[in-house]
Amino acid sequence: MYSFRPVCIRILALSLVLSCQILGARVTPPAPYGPTPSARQLTWHDLEMYAFIHFTTTTYRDVEWGYGDASPDEFQPDSLDCNQWVSTLKAAGMKGVILTAKHHDGFCLWPSRLTDYSVAHSSWQEGKGDVVKELSDAARRHGLKFGLYLSPWDRHDLRYGTPAYIDYYRGQLQELLTGYGPIFEVWQDGANGGDGYYGGARERRKIDNKTYYDWPNTNQLIRKWQPDACIFSDGGPDARWCGTESGYVGDPNWCAITRNNYAPGIAKQEYLQHGEADGTDWVPAEVDVSIRPGWFYHAREDQQVKPVSKLMDIYYKSVGRGANLILNVPPTKSGRLHPTDVCHLLAFGKALREEFSQPLSHKITRFGSSNTRGNSKRYSPKRLTDGKKTTYWATDDKVCQASVTFTFDKPTVFNRFSIGEYLPMGQRVKAFQIEIETSEGQWTKIAEATTIGHKRLLRFPDVEARNVRLVITDSHACPCIEHVEFYYSPN
Ligand code: FUL
């Protein structure tokens, strides 16, 4: 007798096998190349841009590095308004804010129980003020992440240079990292100028950058108190200095370095600007730059606030080269941001929104590729524009040169391009270019670049084309590209 059930089961099994193949379940993912980011670093990459706030007694002395002898009473922000800071920063597109809780002058912006050199010993708000609390609360209210800078160099404290100071520094970190909610980044400055007040000694103190601070143990404590915080310094461990304070990271920019050669104060600038293609550790670059010439507010610099065009240039040379950008905005003596800084920041936010306001990938009707991993849908070039952070276009192993052709529904004008690698597979691409097909059927290069990493942004004059090609010209291993986007910017 004809049995219907086994046939059904066979058909079911066959269609399961077929759909598995079509969906690419059988195709193995590429192997990661080199070091890869931790979960906390992946979250950090997505922040892209946040602000720095430099504020302390130094603001009132009109200098950059306070000597450490200012009286706590000199700190008098009579109209402190952290809400104004944060709402301005948010409108500028910042995703977080990092405060100098203590700069080199040693004055603490929170009521530390471990020193009498703090807001608690100032006549400001009768010793009841706490800038760390005000800013962390304001940041959270506006949905911005909060981070802290605690200067290792302390020109005020008598203990500086002795082992007792390290206990003090760690005790301060504990107060800050356990008392103010989640912290996304801890900033360790490598600057160490030597001379200072040091409890009245007024002398030059030299420490050995490599051994004095015992960073490995301090960093373990930071991990204990704030496991999700990224630690920034000249050598990481999580994010590195970009080797300059002028507002750019090198090109190429590799996320890897060989970490053990660097620590706060131990930096090779040229090396940190580019990272190392074959570095052993994932330590991506952060670009620190101020909106003014100095890090602290000086009225004499009111005419030198960076204009939007310069801020945009910095953005393309930091975020647009796969780094994060930390833009410093120093409050004035009153405790508010200066109107010029506010005006430039708001205009910058508007310009950024305009820059990326017209994405065009939804107009792409056809995707072709010279190679797709295992011919699988899972790694298809369509993944480049699906808006998902977990999918990517990949090629077969050993295919390190490959292209994707995008066909728009009609000839389309664009002048910006964004591309990002799928970072859990490491940083792979060394060089790529964008080409358009001319009306004569020729392919012409319109832009080229080196590394990609989290994001690469390209600006070029308007071009019009229906067929556009992304060509990966060189890669350490088969490329794994997470997104591409085309934009038309009116700017
Ligand atoms: C430098 C410091 O010396 C500056 O004052 C500022 O804090 C800057 C962000 O880092 O190394």
Q: Ligand 1 centre from 191 Cα, in Å?
A: 7
Q: What is the CATH number of the domain that holds 391?
A: 2.60.120.260
Residues 396, 325 share a domain:
no
**277 C-beta neighbours (distance < 10 Å), count:** 13
Taking 50 as the threshold, does the pLDDT of residue 14 lie above it? no
**CB of 134 shorter than 6 A to ligand 1:** no
Report whether residue 295 contacts ligand 1, using a CB cutoff of 6 Å. Answer: yes
Alpha carbon of 151 to ligand 1 centroid (Å): 9
Ligand 1 mean position to 189 CA, how many Å?
7
Query: Using omega within 30 degrees of 0 as the cis cutoff, is the peptide bond preceding 237 cis?
Result: yes
Do 471 and 383 lie in a common domain?
Answer: yes
Supply the pLDDT for residue 217.
97
Tell me the pLDDT band of 193, cut-offs 50, 70 and 90.
Answer: confident
Domain end, chosen from 355, 381, 402, is at: 355
Between 7-21, 55-69, 382-396, the lowest mean confidence (pLDDT) is in 7-21
Gap between the Cα atoms of 487 and 362, Å rounded: 11
Q: pLDDT tens-digit profile of 20-30? A: 444 445 899 99
The model's pLDDT over 389-433, given as tens digits with 9 standing for 90+, comes to 999 999 999 999 999 999 999 999 999 999 999 999 999 999 999
Q: Which pLDDT band, with edges at 50, 70 and 90, does 106 fall under?
A: very high
| Tens of pLDDT, residues 370-381 | 999 999 999 999
206 in the same domain as 93: yes
Q: Is the residue at 299 inside a domain?
A: yes
Does 15 fall in a domain? no
Residues 100, 245, single domain; the answer is: yes
204 and 136 in a common domain:
yes
- Ligand 1 centroid to Cα of residue 244, in Å, is 11
* Closest ligand 1 atom to Cα of 65: 5
Query: What is the spatial distance between Cα 160 and Cα 168, in angstroms, rounded to a whole number?
Result: 9
Q: What percent of the chain has pLDDT over 70?
A: 95
Degrees, nearest 5: CA angle 263-292-249: 45
Per-residue pLDDT averaged across 242-257, rounded? 98
Domain final position from 300, 330, 355: 355
Residue 415 lies in a domain: yes
Kindly state whether residues 288 and 380 are assigned to the same domain.
Answer: no
What is the domain range of residue 105? 39-355
Give the residue from 395, 409, 408 showing the smallest Cα distance to 471: 395
Residues 318 and 371 in one domain: no
How does residue 10 score in pLDDT terms, banded at 50, 70 and 90?
low
Question: Is any ligand 1 atom within 6 A of the Cβ of residue 105?
Answer: no
Q: What's the pLDDT at 26?
A: 82
C-alpha angle 454-177-43 in degrees, rounded to nearest 5? 15
Whether residue 406 contacts residue 467, with contact meaning beta carbons closer than 8 Å, is answered with yes
Q: Is residue 6 part of a domain?
A: no
In three state form, how does the secondary structure of 262-307 look? CECCECCHHHHHHCCCCCCEECCEEEEEECCCCCCCCHHHHHHCCC
Count: domains in the chain:
2
- What does the block give as tokens for 281? 């550790």
> 286 CB under 6 A from ligand 1?
no
CATH code, domain carrying 186: 3.20.20.80
Closest atom of ligand 1 to 189 CA is 11
Q: What is the pLDDT of residues 450-482, one digit of tens each?
A: 999 999 999 999 999 999 999 999 999 999 999
pLDDT at 360 over 90: yes
Of ligand 1's atoms, which has the minimum distance to the CA of residue 193?
Answer: 3
The per-residue pLDDT for range 295-339, each reduced to its tens digit, is 999 999 999 999 999 999 999 999 999 999 999 999 999 999 999
Is 50 exceeded by the pLDDT of residue 489?
A: yes
189 lines ligand 1 (CB under 6 A): yes
Residue nearest atom 11 of ligand 1, based on CA coordinates: 191
The pLDDT score that the predictor gives to residue 3 is: 46
Residue that is last in its domain, among 355, 379, 410: 355
